[in-house]
Amino acid sequence: MRTNSPPGSGPLLSPRPAGACASGPGGERPRAGSASPRADAGGGASAASGGKMNYMPGTASLIQDIDKKHLVLLRDGRTLIGYLRSIDQFANLVLHQTVERIHVGKKYGDIPRGIFVVRGENVVLLGEIDLEKESDTPLQQVSIEEILEIQRVEQQTKQESDKLKMQALKERGLSIPRADTLDEY
């Protein structure tokens, strides 16, 4: 609808072109503090909530854990301990001052690994380490050489035990496929 007013004497009312911004009543823009229907879409902060960040599911919730010491259990059984420095949407992690901790019985040893990049699909468990309770462990720390030797002996004992089990099953007419012939997935 058009009004017959002389040019420059008042606004012309015309349909808004496609893609133009919506304005409030009377042609005014919405104020910065006013809530809009999409103000809090996607879990972000809004002015109506006082500027507080809402909980965001997934890896975005790890943002508050950056620069804290974490323990990461990998799919292959390794345990890493280091400072979380970076994450992304795929849960890929960057750990700094990382050590690989090897547990055997009540003993453990730490192998320094430096900066470690972990692909997100390999993470089984990620947990923050309480620095105050970290030294209150019933485990005994031993040297790297000693823990590796203890681990080797334990693995060798397990292999011999598995071999005896397989032979006993074979004598009874049973066979179980070996783990190295199966897919890991």
pLDDT for residue 179 is more than 60: yes
User: 183 falls in which pLDDT band (50, 70, 90)?
Assistant: low
- Cα–Cα distance measured from residue 98 to residue 174, given in angstroms and rounded to the nearest whole number: 45
Contact 94, 117 (CB under 8 A): yes
Question: Per-residue pLDDT averaged across 17-33, rounded?
Answer: 44
Tell me what pLDDT residue 62 has. Answer: 80
Band of pLDDT at residue 12, cut at 50, 70 and 90: very low
- As given in the structure block, the two tokens for residue 107 are 């003993």
Distances (CA, A) of 19 to 15, 16, 57, 125: 12, 8, 32, 47
Tokens matching residue 93: 């992690």
pLDDT over 80 at 7, yes or no: no
pLDDT at 57: 64
pTM of the entire structure?
A: 0.60
Share above pLDDT 70 across residues of the chain, in percent, rounded to a whole number: 63
172 or 37: which carries more pLDDT confidence? 172
Q: Beta 107-118 vs 140-141: how paired, if at all?
A: parallel
The CATH code for residues 59-141 is: 2.30.30.100
What is the distance between the alpha carbons of residues 126 and 74, in angstroms, rounded to a whole number? 9
> Which residues lie below 8 Å from residue 173, measured CB to CB, with a gap of 6+?
none
